[in-house]
Each structure stands twice: as C-alpha cells, then as structure tokens.
Amino acid sequence: MAERVFVHIGLPKTGTTYLQGVLWDHRDQIRREGVLLPGEGHREHLWAALDLEERKNLARRHRRAPGAWGRLRDELAGWPGTGLVSHEFFCGASREQAQRLVSDLAPAEVHLVLTARHAAGMLAAGWQEMVKNGGTQLLGEVPRKPGPGSEFGWRTWDLHGVLKRWGDVVPPERVHVLPMPGAEEPADQHWRNFATVVGLSGAYSLPDRPANASLGVVQVEMLRRVNAHLSGPGAGPGTSFGAPVDRGQWIRGYLAEQRLASQRGEPFGLDEESLVDCRRRSRRAVRLIREWGLHVVGEVDSLLVPADLPALRSPESVTDIELIDAAGTLVADMLNDVREMSRELGHGPRT
C-alpha cells in the first residue's frame, strides 16, 4: 500500500477542474516525482466518488463506473510511494463513507485536501454549475435542497459541514485547507499551493485561463428556463437531456460554455437573505478551522464573506426583453453551427 494518500475532495467550484486538468495532463511527470494518480482518467475518480457514496444506477453513467473505487484502491495498494485521488464529489460522502475510504486505504496515512472559498461565492458559482448541468431551481430555492444524493446543494458547498463529517475520521494534522487565491495573486498560485501540499516540486505547464467559463445574469437565467424544456415533464417527445453524458456534452459544454458564455453578460449576485446565511456559514467554518488548528495554505480570513461585496443584479431581475435579445443571439450562433456542420457532412444546399 502507498505510504500516504492525499485525497482532494473539493469543494466544488474552487478551481478543481483547473487543478485536475494539470494533474492529468502531466500524469507521467507526476509519477516520476513519486506520486501515483491511479486510474485512466478524470472520469474514474468521479465514478469512484459516486461508487464510495453507493449511488444507485451507477452503471447508467458507464459500464465501468460500478466498482471504480475498488479499482483505485487496488492500484494504490501496489504503489510504494505517495498516492493522489482528486474529485469534488467526494465531499458529499457521509461520515461512515469517509471512514470506509480511510479503512480501505489502511495502513496508508490519509491526508485530506480541501480547496475552498467563502460561502457567498460558493452559492453563486454552485447554483450556476447546477443550471449548467440541467437544473431548473431558482437561486433562492437552492438552500432548501435536501442533503444526500446530490452534488448540488449545501451538503457539498458548506465547508463547515464537510469538515465535520471528514474531520471525524482524518486527524486535524492531516487536513489541509487551501483558500482560493485572490485576483491580485499570481495566476499560478492555486497550483503552487496545491503542489506544495502534495509534494510536487517540478516545473509544470499551466493553462492561462480558468477551465470553466462563467455566465452572465441574463444568460444563466435563460439557460435555467431552457432546461425546463430539455428534461422532466415539460420535455417534448425525444427531447429529454436527462442522461449525464447529454447534460455534460450538450447543456454544459455546448449550450452554456461554448455559446452562452461567449455573450459575456454582466455578473449576478445574491439577495440579502442569502448573504446573511452565507456570512453565518463562513464564520462557522473559519471558527472550526481555527479551533482545530488545521493547516491552511493561504489567508483563512479570505473564507469570510467580504463586508463590501459589490451590489449585483439577481437572476430574478432579468426581463423578458433581455431574454429575447440574448435568445436571438443564441439562435443566430446555433444556426451558423448547423450550417457549418451540414457543410462538413456534405449536406449543403441543393443548386
């Protein structure tokens, strides 16, 4: 078994896609530094997290998804150095499931890595990600979403709750909290903080921009409304996009991050009630980090919601006129895509 295993459990929307992209792009180089990233790709760590959490119908994602956690565990068992597992869905594990992970990796010394941000940023980014993945809930409805069984909601976004569940099975001296660096810090700071914790010292080529594009307030509200027509009772015959691969490739990948993100709309913010709740959650998390004496790489106070957040529009303020204008741009872009695709397939217009 590996001597030690770093388990990067998220949280979601804390630069995880960026970090995981660097890891998988340089898997062989990382291995030469003595750190094993088990599995064949990012999806296996996603499946492993859901497998550990005993999600139902896992085979619907992929025939190899069931048993994914056991395969990673077995690969780590044959490695003599340091292991690394990384996926944000692990943070939704229950206390019992976290204990199973630690027991499965024994006698390896398990370290927990949590990348984090303040709760207001988490709520806004998490809700947007939920919409990108086919969600239809209003922003104000998210805090009432029930707990286990979903990666979208306070079960995975609340740093205090995640620390409490995992902190019962991983000693405080092995828990590392990495607040997301501020905009004024170097672009590679997040990776350097992560690499330092894991024990990577080599030179790695890094992307020059974030992995996930953000949507403007009008664009995310339009996507939320479109989603109602793509899945569930409102979907027409043959139009359902409920499968994970459809949500990932078409709603999130094509519609949201390729087409709507290109419109570069204005950012959105939270209502006062949500901000009050987020401030409470952030204070509770920071207090726990200090009480337990956890290892923090960065400024722990950056996990508190700033007192001077800029006033931003809420998605509920978007007007029908704004939606129509954005929809017109979207339809024009999609029509161009259809024309180009038809030309590539040799289905051009008849002459």
> How confident is the model over 173-200, as a mean pLDDT?
96
Q: pLDDT at position 210, please?
A: 60
> How confident is the model over 300-312, as a mean pLDDT?
94
For residue 189, pLDDT over 90 is answered with yes
Please indicate, yes or no, whether residues 171 and 260 belong to a single structural domain of this protein: no
Please indicate, yes or no, whether residues 71 and 97 belong to a single structural domain of this protein: yes
349 is a domain residue: no
Please indicate, yes or no, whether residues 275 and 237 belong to a single structural domain of this protein: no
For residue 145, pLDDT over 80 is answered with no
350 is a domain residue: no
Please indicate, yes or no, whether residues 262 and 201 belong to a single structural domain of this protein: no
313 is a domain residue: no
Please indicate, yes or no, whether residues 242 and 285 belong to a single structural domain of this protein: no
Average pLDDT, the chain: 92
> How confident is the model over 187-214, as a mean pLDDT?
89
201 is a domain residue: yes
Please indicate, yes or no, whether residues 86 and 232 belong to a single structural domain of this protein: no
pLDDT digits over 24-50, tens only? 999 999 999 999 999 999 999 999 999
Q: pLDDT at position 61, please?
A: 87
Locate tokens 């409490």: which residue? 164
Please indicate, yes or no, whether residues 103 and 168 belong to a single structural domain of this protein: yes
Please indicate, yes or no, whether residues 224 and 95 belong to a single structural domain of this protein: no
Q: Which of 128-142, 161-175, 229-243, 285-299 bottoms out in mean pLDDT, i.e. has the lowest?
A: 229-243
C-beta of residue 177 within 8 angstroms of C-beta of residue 297: yes
Contacts of 208 (CB under 8 A, 6+ apart): 187
Please indicate, yes or no, whether residues 229 and 324 belong to a single structural domain of this protein: yes
β-pair partners for 178: 115
Query: Which backbone phi and psi does 93 adopt, to 5 degrees?
Result: -65, 150
Please indicate, yes or no, whether residues 200 and 169 belong to a single structural domain of this protein: yes
Q: In terms of pTM, does the model score above 0.75?
A: yes
Give the model's confidence band at 14: pLDDT under 50 very low, under 70 low, under 90 confident, else very high: very high
Q: pLDDT at position 149, please?
A: 60
CA-to-CA distance for 111 and 113, rounded, in angstroms? 7
Q: Is the peptide bond before 138 cis (omega within 30 degrees of 0)?
A: no
- Domain of residue 58: give its range: 4-208+270-303
Residue 221, SS3?
Answer: helix
> How confident is the model over 60-73, as a mean pLDDT?
94
> How confident is the model over 10-26, as a mean pLDDT?
96
Give the model's confidence band at 351: pLDDT under 50 very low, under 70 low, under 90 confident, else very high: very low
308 is a domain residue: no
CA-to-CA distance for 126 and 343, rounded, in angstroms? 38
Q: For the domain that residue 286 is a member of, what is the CATH number?
A: 3.40.50.300
For residue 234, pLDDT over 90 is answered with no
Number of domains within the chain: 2
254 is a domain residue: yes
Percentage of the chain lying above the pLDDT 70 cut: 94
Please indicate, yes or no, whether residues 69 and 122 belong to a single structural domain of this protein: yes
Please indicate, yes or no, whether residues 146 and 15 belong to a single structural domain of this protein: yes
Residue 301, SS3?
Answer: helix
314 is a domain residue: no
> How confident is the model over 108-117, as a mean pLDDT?
98
For residue 63, pLDDT over 80 is answered with yes
User: CA angle, corner 266, sides to 209 and 309, nearest 5?
Assistant: 90
179 is a domain residue: yes
